[in-house]
Amino acid sequence: MQVNFQIIRQSENAPPWVQSYDLEVEPGNTILDCLNQIKWEYDGTLAFRKNCRNTICGSCAMRINGRSGLACKENVAQEIARTQTLSDSGIPKITIAPLGNLPVIKDLVVDMGNFWQGLEAISPYVDSSGLPIPETEFTQSPQEREGLNLPGNCILCGACYSECNAIEVNPQFVGPHALAKANRLVTDSRDNQTSQRLEEYNSETTGVWGCTRCQYCNSVCPTGVEPLEQIGKIKQKILATHQHTKEPVSTAIRHRQVLVELVKSGGWIDERQFGIKVVGNSLRDLKGLASLGPLGLRMLSRGKFPWSFEPSEGTAAVRSLIESVEKSSNY
């Protein structure tokens, strides 16, 4: 079958441009097979990364028809069926572009420096310092080891990083790949730095609270790591450590706690209390309260400030559901 490949090409610090190639391919050919065909038979200047060709190394991550994935995993038939787009000549079209959120070096090759810095920021290694040294090795039960399986499947391909909305607006966010690895560390029974790690990952902008929960990282992960779920597990651990403490907590933790408190109380959020309790820390943060002023005035001027609050008819059912979840998750 004939397929048109539209490849976004670019040199460093230069504007991108599109080059078109018409290939005769088999439906089962992978996208990497097709890129190899272009490079070997049509254009040796095309640059892209590859290595294992078997969904192990993560080298060939790129955007395929607007969605980040591995070129060695996605095949022609799947992509044509998914997008059903045609070229100007009327044949099926597949568009290939470099990963997002990373600067382009050449064509489909990106500079992964920021990606690796995000990983380095979470101290991605087990730290057993301070633990008694065993005679042979640090051992784990099958149950303890099982908890490491999912985050341990990450091959650091960059697909989740490429699609991350949080990184797009805040380059200081460490990224879903790093936080998925972070949950592996705070889950590992051989690590002796859990409390320090949770404090580090508690950052409102660079850590777990910087995540926008858009689900894109889960949808593109080629190995099913589900980075968003790993981030959620870290949040649960952080919240559990602050559940009974009287120490001041961050705005992000208050946001979660107040949201649950208000929904349990009224079935949905009482917007009159939410900002005051979260940003204003229940009238204890005068600077935070002052920051609400401009927003409050705009809401008042546009008739969007609720003067009263009516609890939901299903408040009791909502409260029961939340309490059941809290009980089952030991939070």
Which residues of 111-229 form beta strands (DSSP E)? none
Average pLDDT over the chain reads 92
Residue 2 scores a pLDDT above 90: yes
Give the Å distances, CA to CA, from 268 to 232, 264, 306.
22, 8, 13
pLDDT at residue 246, rounded to an integer: 63
190-245 per-position pLDDT tens digit: 999 999 999 999 988 899 999 999 999 999 999 999 999 999 999 999 988 877 66
Residues 169-197 pLDDT 10s: 999 999 999 999 999 999 999 999 999 99
Q: Which of 192, 197, 193, 196 is nearest to 138 (CA)?
A: 192
Domain boundaries, the chain: 2-106, 112-242, 251-328
Burial bucket for residue 153 (CB in 10 Å: 0-12, 13-18, 19+)? middle
In terms of Cα–Cα distance, which of 178, 146, 150, 162 is closest to 111?
Answer: 162
Mean predicted confidence (pLDDT) in 61-77: 97
pLDDT at 330: 57
Select from 3.40.50.620, 3.60.20.10, 3.30.413.10, 3.10.20.30 the CATH code of 2-106.
Answer: 3.10.20.30
Over residues 113-128, mean pLDDT: 95
Tell the CATH topology of 112-242. Fumarate Reductase Iron-sulfur Protein; Chain B, domain 2 (1.10.1060)
Calculate what percentage of the chain has a pLDDT beyond 90.
Answer: 76
End-to-end CA distance of the chain: 56
**Residue range 281-305: mean pLDDT, rounded:** 89
pTM to 2 decimal places: 0.86
Output the DSSP codes for 28-67: T-BHHHHHHHIIIII-TT-----S-SSSSS-TTEEEETTE
pLDDT at 134 over 70: yes
Q: Please write the tens of the pLDDT for every residue from 250-278.
A: 888 888 889 999 999 999 999 889 989 99
- The residues, ordered by sequence, that sit 6+ positions from 29 with a Cβ below 8 Å of its Cβ are 75, 76
Average pLDDT for 40-50? 97
Q: Over the stretch 8-34, which tens digit does the pLDDT of each residue have?
A: 999 888 899 999 999 999 999 999 999
With a cut of 90, say whether residue 326 has pLDDT above it.
no
Asked which of 43-57, 100-114, 137-151 is least confident by mean pLDDT, the reply is 137-151
Helix H or strand E encompassing 218: helix 216-220
pLDDT of 78 higher than 80? yes
Token output for 51: 């290595």
Is the pLDDT at 331 greater than 60, yes or no?
A: no
Separation of alpha carbons 75 and 39, rounded Å = 18
Cα separation, 2 vs 17, in Å, equals 23
**CB neighbour list of residue 66: distance below 8 Å, 6 or more residues apart:** 95, 97
CA of residue 127 relative to chain centroid, distance: 25
